[in-house]
Amino acid sequence: MTDPTIWNQLLIWPILNALMAFYKAFELVHVPGAFGFAIIALTLLINTLLFPLKRKQLESTQKLQSLKPQLDELSKKHKDDKVKLQQAQMELYKTAGVNPAGGCLPLLVQIPLFIALYNVFNTVLNGDAGFAERINTVLYHPALHITTLDLSFFGINLTTKPSEWQSVGVWLLLIPVVTAGLQYLQTKLMLPPAPKQKTEGDQMADMQRQMAIVTPIMFGYFAYSFPIGLAIYWNTFTLFGIIQQRQTKK
């Protein structure tokens, strides 16, 4: 994290400085659990900045879903000629003003930032005894420097993992359950309505519905295995994403 690589200078260090700025601000006004609220505040800030891109992604996805009946008709009409099928599909996209790649490009921009956020939170939460000294070398202002980090949040250390529930308490298992539930809700909101009659082109939709089950289980397992601080970040990100999706659909 302290190496002056392009990745660190463009993403990791700015995010780390923003995180420490929120932490110091909450600490200054004596908010208990300052670091936990700093994680939430930074996640909300990043999501707000990315909202225009995410809205374009969601709108593009909805437009593509609205064209599914026409695409199914084209698949039936040109089922024996793939070239004509592709030409007809591109003509339909052009007429409807839809870019098939419109939902992918904003996502590609967001991915590096999400990876950087995860790296920052994961590194801070798993920092060793000398971590404070190393982190101060990349902070932009002396006012952001730290000697120690208070990682308590509502009576629990943010480095605690739900997998340690036997020694801490069974209530910790609620965290992966909430994570899986939020992920399931977000995934369901992204799925197209189930067709009344299945067609040959519905294989992708079936795969998406299977992922709506697999993905929450996977993220629930991650939340079970990783520190609580990372679950706070991911659940805040997911909850904010659900709100954005509902607003976009309206």
pLDDT tens sequence across 121-168: 888 877 666 778 888 899 999 999 988 888 899 888 998 999 999 998
* Extents of the domains making up the chain: 6-249
pLDDT value, residue 48 = 87
Q: Given pLDDT bands bounded at 50, 70 and 90, which one contains residue 75?
A: confident
Tokens encoding 140: 């932009």
> pLDDT by residue (tens digit) across 204-226?
556 667 777 888 899 999 999 98
**Tell me: the pLDDT tens digits for 20-31?**
999 999 999 999
Instruction: Assign 202 to helix, strand or coil.
Output: helix
pLDDT at 57: 73
Q: How many residues does the chain have?
A: 250
Cα→Cα distances 162→36, 126, 158, 182, 225, Å: 16, 15, 10, 17, 7
